[in-house]
Amino acid sequence: MKLLTHNLLSSHVRGVGPRGFPLRLQATEVRINPVEFNPTFVARMIPKVEWAALLEAANTLHLAEVPTEPVEGYECDEAFLRKMHHVLLEVEVLEGTLQCPESGRLFPISRGIPNMLLSDEESES
C-alpha cells in the first residue's frame, strides 16, 4: 500500500463518518519501490494531500527528507515534486496495521494488501 493511498483512506465503520480519517499507520515491513516519475500526476495530487496525515505516516515509517508543506509554485519545482513522488508513490507498506481513530478497529495489512472487510455489525448496510 502506497502512502498516497493511505492519505486518501478513511474508515467506513458504521457511525464513524468523517472522523474515520486519518487511519493510524503501524508498519512492520516497508519496501522502497522505484516508480517512473510523472511530474504532471504528482503536481495534480498535491492539492489532494492531507499534510498532517502524511507527516504523521512518514514519521511512523522514519522517512527522511519529507517536505512539511507545499512550496509556492510547486508545479515547476522539480526537486520538490521528486521528493513528493518518492514519499507518495515509492514507499510501500507490506506488513502492518491501520487503525480507525474513532472506533479503534484494526485493519491488518498483509503482502501490501489491507483487509478492509467489515463484519455485519460494523458495516453501514
Partner 1 sequence: MASRGGRPEHCGPAELFYDENEARKYVRNSRMIDVQTKMAGRALELLYLPEGQPCFLLDIGCGSGLSGDHLSDEGHYWVGIDISPAMLDAALDRETQGDLFLGDMGQGIPFKPGSFDGCISISAVQWLCSSNKKSDIPAKRLLCFFSSLYSVLVRGARAVLQLYPENSEQLELITTQATRAGFTGGVVVDYPNSTKAKKFYLCLFSGPVTVLPKGLSENPDEDEASESRFTNTRVPFRLERRSLVRKSRAWVLEKKERHRRQGKEVRPDTRYTGRKRKPRF
Q: Binding of partner 1 at residue 125 (CB under 8 A)?
A: yes
Q: Binding of partner 1 at residue 120 (CB under 8 A)?
A: yes
Q: How many CA atoms lie within 13 A of 66 on its CB side?
A: 21
Q: Binding of partner 1 at residue 31 (CB under 8 A)?
A: no
Distance CA 52, CA 56 (A): 6
- Answer for the pair 101, 24: CB distance below 8 angstroms, yes or no: yes
- Residue type present at position 12: H
* Binder among 24, 37, 45, 74 for partner 1 (CB under 8 A): 45
**Sign of the alpha-carbon dihedral angle for 28, 32, 38, 40:** positive
Q: How many residues bind partner 1 (CB under 8 A)?
A: 31
Q: Binding of partner 1 at residue 52 (CB under 8 A)?
A: no
Q: Binding of partner 1 at residue 10 (CB under 8 A)?
A: yes
Site residues for partner 1 per CB under 8 A: 1-2, 5, 8-12, 20-21, 35, 38, 40-41, 44-45, 48, 50, 89, 111-118, 120, 123-125
